[in-house]
Structure 1
Amino acid sequence: MIRLLPFILIPVIIVSGLGYWRYLAGKQNLIAPKQTGSQVDQAPIEVPKTLPAVSTAEPVPQVNNLKSPSPQVSISSSDDSKIKDLESTIIDLKTRIAVLEKPTVSSPVAKSPLYIPLGASGGPWLYADWTSLNEYQVSINPDNYTDYVSMQLEANFRLVGAPGTGYARLYNLTDKSAVASEISTTSTSFGVLTSSAFKLASGQKLYTIQVKSTSSQDLYIQSVRIKVNF
């Protein structure tokens, strides 16, 4: 056994030596880069005195290209027509609203005419000059007809025969003055005649009808009244 020991130890020693040698070689390789790096770090760094000019003109187009393009909205002819119709409808609605918002001015209600009767069914009369007819009288105060505009004499009368002309007018018995209300006819048939407009004197007055005819023709009166206009 002792004789075999040298043969066992010699290979072990050789293997151990080779392993130690490899260990030292690997350790030196790890240390060498660190020293090189430290030497590089210790070397002074030279800074250039002038820096290259930097232009912003070139990056601007590139930056603009990076921006997202704005969406392009395409409007068809049908959509354009609908928009125009909508705008027209809005304008029409605004016009109607403006009309509705205007204050309504109430127009005064027109009053219907009033009639003051003087008498009916009289005659025949044959007068060549103006003559008052006592059968046709009425007392009138125009102040009782507030806001009246005018009055008119209406008479339905005729002549008995032709030729000739029959006349009639309103007469103020109180003031003994004729009212500008003369009417005339040449017809032998009854017909309503209306005088021009007039206004009566203020206050309570007594009025009658005066008549006359030409060519010796009798005159008949069916009805007489005064029309009050407002």
Structure 2
Amino acid sequence: MIRFLPFILVPILIIAGLGYWRFVASTNSPETLPAASSQAEDLGPVEVPKTLPRATLEDRVKSLEDIITKLVAQVNNLKPLSSPTASSSLDSRLKDVESTAIELKARVSALEKATPAPAAASSKVTIYIPLGSGGSTASVDWASLNAFQINLDPAQYPGYSSMQLEVNMRLNQPGGTLYARLYNSTSGGATSSEVSSTSTTSSIFTSSTFTLPTGSKTYILQAKTSDGTSAFLDTARIKVNF
């Protein structure tokens, strides 16, 4: 019997030791904390500082989420109040834009169907080419007047339709006829530009229309009288028509 006594006492001692350890641990544990917590709850909600200086990142995120939720709720509450007016203004603007677009389409369609207007006249103005001044003659044959000559290339006047000779001239005495023309001294031929006068008063006489051959050529004024009396040619020029 005594041999089995240690086997009985050892478990009893172990159980007793464990029980004592649990008792000591329970007396030293902060069991009174719930009371303190309940006292804190009785004090009401604690306001969290706005800046949250010691708050963790999760706490800050949670605070921001709460603020955003409140703002969204306030915006949603405001929408029904402003929606009718904004919608009405938007509808009015859309109607104005649509009506303007329809009007513009109608105008474009009318312009497309309209008969094309006649082409506008050329914007080019008449050009005058001076030949010279201060000439006279008393010849009954065509005489070239060196005071009236020019090198001329019609390509310098692209698009021209015709030319005319204008001469300001007079007879010294009545009774005869004064003639003048433009002569191509390079090729040796007169142009269709002859003018005549029987007046003793200086006047401008204009020839019929003519065109010049291509290329640069020298042109000179020729004159004569029917009876060999003196005649004066004050000025001469070529009129270029477009």
TM-score scaled to structure 1, two decimals? 0.55
In structure 2, the residue matched to 1:172 is 184
Q: CA deviation at 1:210?
A: 0.5
SS at match of 2:208: coil
Q: CA deviation at 1:192?
A: 0.4
Q: 1:195 aligns with which of 194, 207, 231?
A: 207
Query: Whose radius of gyration is greater, 1 or 2?
Result: 1
Identity of aligned residues (%): 42
Evaluate the alpha carbon distance shift between residue 185 and residue 102 of structure 1 in structure 2; reply closer, same or farther with a 3 A threshold: same
In structure 2, the residue matched to 1:49 is none
Q: CA deviation at 1:98?
A: 3.9
Q: CA deviation at 1:132?
A: 0.6
Q: Distance in 1 between matches of 2:194 and 2:123?
A: 27
Q: CA deviation at 1:216?
A: 2.5
- Structure 2 counterparts to residues 120-135 of structure 1, below 5 A: 120-123=133-136, 125-135=137-147
In structure 2, the residue matched to 1:115 is 128
In structure 2, the residue matched to 1:209 is 221
Q: 2:170 aligns with which of 154, 158, 170?
A: 158
In structure 2, the residue matched to 1:82 is none
Q: Distance in 2 between matches of 1:201 and 1:184?
A: 24
Q: Distance in 2 between matches of 1:179 and 1:108?
A: 28
Q: CA deviation at 1:151?
A: 0.4
Structure in which a larger fraction of residues adopt helix = 2
Q: Distance in 1 between matches of 2:149 and 2:111?
A: 54
Q: CA RMSD in A?
A: 2.4
Matched residue count: 136
Q: Distance in 2 between matches of 1:178 and 1:109?
A: 30
1:225 aligns with 2:240: no
1:148 aligns with 2:160: yes
Q: Deviations over 1:190-230 (max 9, x none)?
A: 00000000000100000000000022221101110000000
Q: Distance in 2 between matches of 1:209 and 1:153?
A: 10
Q: Distance in 1 between matches of 2:143 and 2:122?
A: 41
Q: Distance in 2 between matches of 1:210 and 1:189?
A: 20
Stretches of structure 2 lacking an aligned partner (at least 5 in a row): 1-105
Q: CA deviation at 1:127?
A: 0.4
